[in-house]
Amino acid sequence: MNELTYNIPLHLLSAYRRERLVVRTDEPAALVAALEPEDPERVAGVQIVSLAADSEPLNAWAPGLPLELILRDPVAEFPLLYRHTNLLDNHPMRVIIPVAPGFGKAVKAAVSLDFAVRLDVGQPEPALIEEMAVVLEFYLHQSTVAQPVEYFHGALQGFFHGEPTPLWVLQDDDPQYLRYVTDEGVEQPSRRLVDLNANIALDADLGEWIARALAAEEECQGCEFLNSCGGYFKWPRRDYDCAGVKRLFGDLRDAAAELRRDLDAGST
Ligand code: SF4
């Protein structure tokens, strides 16, 4: 059985010494110094929250440990990705890029440097949907893209195999297994569920979360992409217009069908 993983800021490490952790910090050297010998076994990953940080202390530390670089301002910060490429030698690496104006430049830079990517997507307005469509096109059709760009990659695989995975899982926001602890020490069931006020047991499984709380609204229950989305885009604002994100899900579904047709044609 999976155990809960707590995403905590480094300064709360002493309060969470018994839990499985993802630790976020802008001081990698301080993280290495703060951990006790038995701690690394409980650290499932590290998030570096400032690209200006010196990540060198993590290069040879705990090889194999997944590391994530978090961009705040994708246009201003993507040139700093070059500083962290040495980490690729010893760690599975992923760059988290907020879907904000101009974010496509950061995606292209990250994948060209061989980083995997996860898009940190909120509730994108129409102009951002158009930018996402361009990035999706790039991801689907550029033969040079060797690394996954989530959530596009996981959703495409879900459509292709007929086994959709809700975005709560693909986006590391699954309230069944994750807890997000704010810098102020407030525990949330997920990073996204900041104002959750639902009558549901915290240890409920994700299907129950989706049916009873996350996608309980009529629009989600009747949505053709419910199994791939899980109501993700209705948080935090429940009145968000999903027309644009449904279009992107449709593009992913079409791409999966095309891929299936190409594979079937190639095998006959
Ligand atoms: S796309 Fe929108 S309506 Fe459909 S399941 Fe997701 S949040 Fe609900």
Could you tell which of 132, 233, 238, 253 is best to mutate to test the pocket of ligand 1, judged by most ligand atoms within 8 Å of the CB? Answer: 233
Residues 58 and 46 sit within 8 Å (Cβ to Cβ): yes
- pLDDT tens for 12-47 read 999 998 899 999 999 999 998 888 766 667 899 999
Instruction: Please state, for a pLDDT cut of 90, what percent of the chain lies above it.
Output: 77
pLDDT of residue 268: 65
Task: Give 180's contacts (C-beta < 8 A, 6+ positions apart).
Answer: 6, 7, 187, 188, 189, 190, 191
Nearest-angstrom CA–CA distance, 13 and 143: 42
What token pair was written down for 49? 């929250």
Measured from the CB, is residue 220 less than 6 Å from ligand 1?
A: yes
- Mean pLDDT over the full length of the chain: 92
Q: Give the Å distance between the CA of 3 and the centre of ligand 1.
A: 28
Strand 187-188 vs strand 178-181: parallel, antiparallel, or unpaired?
Answer: antiparallel
- pLDDT tens for 178-191 read 999 999 999 988 88
pTM for the model stands at: 0.94
Strand 149-150 vs strand 43-48: parallel, antiparallel, or unpaired?
Answer: unpaired
Measured from the CB, is residue 234 less than 6 Å from ligand 1?
A: yes
What token pair was written down for 115? 């980083």
What token pair was written down for 169? 């899982």
Any idea where the domains of the chain sit in the sequence? 5-150
Q: Quick check: 258 pLDDT over 50? A: yes
194 confidence band (pLDDT: 50, 70, 90): confident
pLDDT of residue 1: 47
